[in-house]
Structure 1
């Protein structure tokens, strides 16, 4: 686990990393407006978070000029940073009913979705199986002074049972089937969103009601597979 200070991500810190041209706040605002027009983004709080956070900070320098396009981009280790439209859809589904105090993220990746969660939730627990990605994400979020994030290197299938239950769970990797371990770590009444399957993949939202799950199909997506074990 890495450091935790309790301070959520703040706009005044993010503004220090605003770029120019294709990485400018104006370009980021244009992306947000397009996502709203296309129906991907209805939540005001999620829109504010996405408009605040410099996505270009989480993108490989070779792809910075594409940071505010609605596309996935490679981040190394055969992983990607998700489409902004997908990040918007998943984030607002989690927050549709009530604020989230404690969220578990499976697949830290670039740290961009983690940053969104930091701005929207009280505490973020994020798991990544590739140590180098976890370290890079931690460094970037430390730059942004986001201190309400707990970083772990572990197999995402197993979640963090010692820290359960969680108000919400979000996954940026697709298992073949819904992991029972993650379901057991979701609080009664809690919400979970994740892709499931190989090809095709479908994005599902779940709400736990005691021993049963209410399931909602949110659409077709393309995510990296949820692999087992910790990468060496």
Structure 2
């Protein structure tokens, strides 16, 4: 996968994700071109592989971000509200903000305060209009509990593996709404949870993955 999609520029990376049909919608294509990965990933930003960003945290490979955005795209329309759990570098939250626009809101929650600060700095430097509009924000906190202040959310993305179905996050999901989350410990699977207009939840198994565990700050820093 990585060798097929890696590019020398952000546009080339996204074009390769389109060429391999990982990106299929114009909405995702436009967002990933608008948000330059190099603004959030200082090392090898256009390689289609996870990259270390400090504090025992990695930014996911671009193809995984593309899969997530494609899966959530119907819930990332202008005016909608999205939550990114374990926002890390802030890159995917920024892509979500590009998709929901200034009439919507994208919230990134990350328990490493230093990464939250870096995300905010990247925004203020490269996307100051989003800061002014309030369509995106980053908060330091325990993402396992979600972020109730801006709930309910049209969609939720989880960037680390939950050992079991994250019921608290499902409670913060709108009806209808969708959550994209890796679930499991040794055997991890991407699960897509769809909540219908009546609040009923359906689960779809998407693919096998390897993610860092969704854990607390102390374990994250010391892992």
Q: Give the aligned partner of residue 219 of structure 1.
A: 207
Task: Compute the displacement of 1:42 (Å).
Answer: 0.4
> For the residues of structure 2 that align with 1:70 and 1:80, how far apart are their CA atoms?
13
CA deviation profile, 1:79-137 (whole Å, cap 9, x unmatched): 11111111011011111367261111101101110110110111011111111111111
The secondary structure found in structure 1 opposite 2:21 is coil
Task: Compute the displacement of 1:150 (Å).
Answer: 2.1
TM-score of the superposed pair, with normalisation by structure 1: 0.82
The secondary structure found in structure 1 opposite 2:206 is strand
> For the residues of structure 2 that align with 1:173 and 1:98, how far apart are their CA atoms?
20
> For the residues of structure 1 that align with 2:143 and 2:108, how far apart are their CA atoms?
9
C-alpha root-mean-square deviation of aligned residues, in Å?
A: 2.0
Question: In structure 2, which of residues 9, 33, 58 is the aligned counterpart of residue 51 of structure 1?
Answer: 33
Q: Go from structure 1 to structure 2 and tell me whether the alpha carbon gap of 1:52 and 1:157 turns closer, same or farther (over 3 Å shift).
A: same
Counting only pairs closer than 5 Å after superposition, residues 55-70 of structure 1 correspond to structure 2 as: 55-60=37-42, 63=43, 66-70=44-48
Contact 1:23-1:67 at 8 Å conserved across structures = no
Question: In structure 1, which of residues 43, 65, 79 is the aligned counterpart of residue 57 of structure 2?
Answer: 79
Whether 1:39 and 2:50 are equivalent positions in the alignment is no
Q: Go from structure 1 to structure 2 and tell me whether the alpha carbon gap of 1:49 and 1:98 turns closer, same or farther (over 3 Å shift).
A: closer
Whether 1:30 and 2:12 are equivalent positions in the alignment is yes
> For the residues of structure 1 that align with 2:75 and 2:59, how far apart are their CA atoms?
26
Question: In structure 2, which of residues 57, 67, 84 is the aligned counterpart of residue 89 of structure 1?
Answer: 67
203-212 or 107-116, which deviates more: 203-212
TM-score of the superposed pair, with normalisation by structure 2: 0.85
Question: In structure 1, which of residues 170, 182, 191 is the aligned counterpart of residue 169 of structure 2?
Answer: 182
Contact 1:46-1:120 at 8 Å conserved across structures = yes
Q: Give the aligned partner of residue 186 of structure 2.
A: 199
Contact 2:110-2:139 at 8 Å conserved across structures = yes
Say which structure, 1 or 2, has more relative contact order (CA 8 Å, 6+ apart). Answer: 1
Contact 2:113-2:140 at 8 Å conserved across structures = yes
Contact 2:75-2:155 at 8 Å conserved across structures = no
Q: In the comparison of the two structures, how many residue pairs are matched?
A: 205
Q: Give the aligned partner of residue 115 of structure 1.
A: 94
